[in-house]
Each structure stands twice: as structure tokens, then as C-alpha cells.
Amino acid sequence: MNGTQNDVSDWWKTDIIDMVPGEIRLRGHPIEELIGNVTFPQMIWLMTRGDIPSKAQAELLECALVAAVDHGPQAPSIAASRMAVTCGLGLNGAMASAINMLDDIHGGAGEQAVELYSWIDNAVQAGQTLETAVPEMIDRWQTECTKFVPGFGHRFHKPVDPRAPRLLGLVDEAALAGTVSGRYAEIGRAIQHMLNTRKGKPVPMNIDGATAVIYAELGFAGPLARGLFCLSRSVGIIAHAWEQMNQGGRNKGPTPPSYRWTYSGPSPIDPKGD
């Protein structure tokens, strides 16, 4: 709001949105010129980064958004969204409880993978070979961060997560077309090669690792990679919550009501009476 600047207005300073009655501009663009002229992925890029991406850039982003929408009711976030609506929440509340869970372990791997890739890329840009940078940075990651190499390994999809080769293939096409450099696809494949060799078995690049390649190729910062994963997974969260609403149910627990938990503490109840 230019013209009314003071300390209270300045407390909420933003480059993102400007408004007067009857006018809205996002990143400087009148909203009515954006509606109908930019795609939703272009809008996501514009809002988070400030510029409108090319069609080719936006299409590669779109592939990452399409790929990560769901992983089924065994995923804690999806289970939570389905349970939430049976407690009386609307879709906004179900999304809140569920998206909250996409934290460091469940949804943060993409953010971490972008960071790991950039360590390796920085080393290579500084003159190191990819062959030495990959194991060095993985060792550093496992020393400084966690033993889990982010973006690789899957407890279910073995030996291959079907999304990863498809996404990498699309990055290759985009690199051929000059849309992206292809450096991060190379880094991702080098990590996979090294992990397979070290472990003596396939350690498949998973959805976090594959979408992180795209986010890094397109220049998204790590925290945004997490945010965009949350946005993508929100689609599955909404779909499952809505399906559960239609299935009905009240206070749906994690297992059928006839199953109980195992009590492992002191003074268990003697079901025959005590």
C-alpha cells in the first residue's frame, strides 16, 4: 500500500502483493492479466520467486507437482487426513493435520536432497571431479546430518521407484532443449551409482530424490522444495479426505475396532476378572 506507509504498515512489508480497492497486483502483475494467461505452475513460480517462468520451465515444474500427489493410506499424512474428516473436520482442517506431518522425515527429504545436491554441485563448480565429490559429500552428510541419504532408498518400491526414471528422462529432454543444465540429473545418477556399489544392491532414487533433481535444476531453494512437495501431496490429502467423507465413518481409528493395542505396562487387566 504505497501512500500510507508507517511503522505499522511496514511491519508487514511484502514484495508479493499490492492492492487498492478494485485493483490487485501480484508481483507487479494485475491479477486479471494473470487469470487465463498463466498456468497454475507458472503462478506458483511467480508467487514464490517473482518472475514468470517460460512454458518449458513451468512444464518441468508441473511434472514434479504431478508426480508426488499421493502415496496411499499407509502414509501417515494420508491416514491422518482420512481419520480427521471422521472426527468432524472439513477439508481445511484435514489438510492442516495432515500437511503438518510432512516434516523432516516424512516430507523434508526433498529439501535435504536439494541441499546435498548443491553441496556436490558447489564442489564440482569449484573444480573437484564428480567422482570424488559424491562420496566426499555423502560422507559429510552422514557425519554432520543423518545416516539417511535423502532421496534414496524405499521400503516398498524395489528395485525401482517407477516415478524416478520417468522424471529423470524428462529432465534429460529438458536439458537437451536447453531449458535446464542437466547437472543435477547427473549428480543424482552419480549418487545412485555410488550407493548401489557401496551397498551391493539397488538403493533406488525415490520420489524425493527425483523431484529434488527437478527443483534444483530449476533453481528452487531447499525450503521451497519442501513447500512444493507439500502443495503436491495436498492433492492426495484432499482426494483421500473427500473419499473418506463419502465412505462415512465416525472416529475412524488406525485399525478396525475389533483390533486393540498390546498393553505392555504394569498391572495388566485380567480379562477373567481380578
Residues 102-141 contacting a second copy, CB under 8 A: 102-108, 111
Residue 179 in contact with a second copy, rule: CB under 8 A: no
Among 52, 119, 130, 157, which residue sits at the site for a second copy (rule: CB under 8 A)? 157
Using CA atoms, how far residue 113 sits from 51, 78, 230, in Å, is 24, 23, 15
Positions in 234-253 near a second copy (CB under 8 A) = 234-236, 238-243, 245, 247, 250-253
Positions in 64-83 near a second copy (CB under 8 A) = 65-67, 69-77, 79-80, 82-83
Provide the 3-class DSSP secondary structure of residue 29.
Answer: strand
Size of residue set near a second copy by CB under 8 A: 138
Q: What whole-number distance in Å separates Cα of residue 238 and Cα of residue 242? A: 6
Residue 30 in contact with a second copy, rule: CB under 8 A: yes
Least distance (Å) between residue 219 CB and a second copy: 14
Among 126, 127, 200, 255, which residue sits at the site for a second copy (rule: CB under 8 A)? 255
Length of the chain in residues, anyone? 274
Residue 195 in contact with a second copy, rule: CB under 8 A: no
Judged by CB, which is closer to a second copy: 51, or 139? Answer: 51
Q: What whole-number distance in Å separates Cα of residue 51 and Cα of residue 17? A: 13
Least distance (Å) between residue 59 CB and a second copy: 8
Q: What whole-number distance in Å separates Cα of residue 240 and Cα of residue 83? A: 10
Least distance (Å) between residue 270 CB and a second copy: 8
96-109 in b/e burial notation, b at 16+ Cβ within 10 A? ebbbebbeeebbbb
Residue 224 in contact with a second copy, rule: CB under 8 A: yes
Q: How many CB atoms lie within 10 A of CB 152?
A: 26
Using CA atoms, how far residue 99 sits from 67, 154, 204, in Å, is 17, 21, 25
